[in-house]
Amino acid sequence: MQPFTLETTIAVPREEIFAYLADVANHPEFTDHFLRDWHMTREETYGLGAGGRFRAKLPFARFPWGDWAISELEEPGLLVLRGRSGKFNRVRTLSLVELREVAGGKTRVTVTVETRPELPSDRLLESLGQRRAAKRHWRKAVKRLRAILEEGRLRGARATIAGGPRKPATGLRA
């Protein structure tokens, strides 16, 4: 799909926005209206390599599971998420989040989303409404991100690691 770009201005310092977005466990809070059933791909959810797997709510999505992981971080201005989705994970995805300071202590957040379907059948599904739906969902996600960071409202559920704590010895005394 041709990439699309969405922008908003958030009245929060960009370092705070970067710290929030660099923790993948926070992503379900603003994307859970179209990316559901989140599972973290590793125990450490912050920083390079952190990622999640989810089920996308898109039209004609017979194989709705997808994933993404943080592949590049340039603190405090750039976050790159790469992943795969669709049948046999053959559709590559790329999401860029750029943060720029603007006057008054505000931050300009630019989100660019792109997919690269390999087969004509995958391209057909995107042309039948998946691109339009994805753009609509991401527009809402950016608005929710602004509401969460500025006002602390519209929060969804935060993702967790399945099965609880991985280090049972933590906090135990002999």
Q: How many domains does the chain have?
A: 1
Percent of the chain with pLDDT over 90: 49
**CATH code: domain of residue 71:** 3.30.530.20
pLDDT of residue 167: 56
DSSP tally for the chain: helices H, then strands E: 4, 7
Rg (CA), the chain: 17
Question: Can you tell me the mean pLDDT for 124-132?
Answer: 76
Structural domain includes residue 53 = yes
Please name which of 57, 77, 42 lies closest in space to residue 141, comparing C-alpha atoms: 57
The predicted pLDDT at position 89 comes to 83
In a domain, 97, yes or no: yes
Q: How confident is the model at residue 88 (pLDDT cuts 50, 70, 90)?
A: confident
Q: Give domain status of residue 82, yes or no.
A: yes
**144 lies in a domain?**
yes
- Domain presence at residue 168: no
Domain enclosing residue 71, as ranges: 4-151
Q: Is the residue at 172 inside a domain?
A: no
List all residues 6 or more positions away from 18 whose beta carbon is below 8 Å from its beta carbon.
Answer: 75, 76, 77, 79, 99
More confident residue, 167 or 65: 65
Q: Give the number of other CB atoms < 10 A from CB of residue 96.
A: 17
Model pTM?
0.84
Query: How is the chain split among helix, strand and coil, in percent rounded to 5?
Result: 30, 35, 35
pLDDT at 38 over 60: yes
167 within domain boundaries: no
